[in-house]
Structure 1
């Protein structure tokens, strides 16, 4: 059974709160749902909260990068928040990087990052902008 990941709207930001480990079909469904939601909401930002994710494989890692790239094409910036140390370690061991995907430790920091980005011209916001306190 494919589990649908909810996409919530907070103003012009979409929040994707992943509550289970992602399988391939769920990630593909999320990609389609999120693209449609970005266009429908006119969103300028997407936060993907993976706090509950305990396991990630190379496909899921690539799809997070793909989702961020898709969001950029639809004029929305993406921040992945809540990555567990074990997930980060696994990604490094698999030789994966989330090139072009910004990360923040918490949802609050991710939302603040998008707030700062919305005040800057497009060319001044980089993929690896550090998050302040």
Structure 2
């Protein structure tokens, strides 16, 4: 079922893992729509993991930090681990300086590391038969 309103944020399904990325800084309305859409998709597909790539965000304010924290909690209640990937160093420094933590949120340096934690990644050469599951 598709929501009549959309945040316009792509959500890609990779088996039982969802991959999404925030391409622009979110306003409050878009962040709430994104939360609703992602939560509905987690439940609809029975996702066990979610990767939210924020590498394009130059600013993560306290509202977006709260949205990510709430998404992680909601995901856990629905049986999915949420990993925030790609946080820029300046964003991490700013969040720490403001005392804004992402309590309960798993993080990874990039989406590839996040996917690997969820069991996705390159197949070892000895067992791959020349095929790879993830592009580099």
Report what 2:105 is aligned to. 101
* Aligned pairs, number: 115
In structure 2, C-alpha distance between the alignment counterparts of 1:28 and 1:4, rounded to whole Å = 12
Unaligned runs of 5+ in 2: 1-5, 121-136
- Rg: which structure is higher? 2
Unaligned runs of 5+ residues in structure 1 are 117-133
Distance change >3 Å, CA 77–CA 55, structure 1 → 2: same
TM, length-normalised to structure 2: 0.80
Whether 1:19 and 2:23 are equivalent positions in the alignment is yes
Between the aligned partners of 2:51 and 2:36, the Cα distance in structure 1 is: 16
Kept after mapping to 2: 8 A contact 1:91/1:97: yes
Q: What RMSD in Å do the two structures reach over aligned CA positions?
A: 1.4
Deviant stretches of 4+, over 2 Å: none
What TM-score comes out, normalization by structure 1 length? 0.82
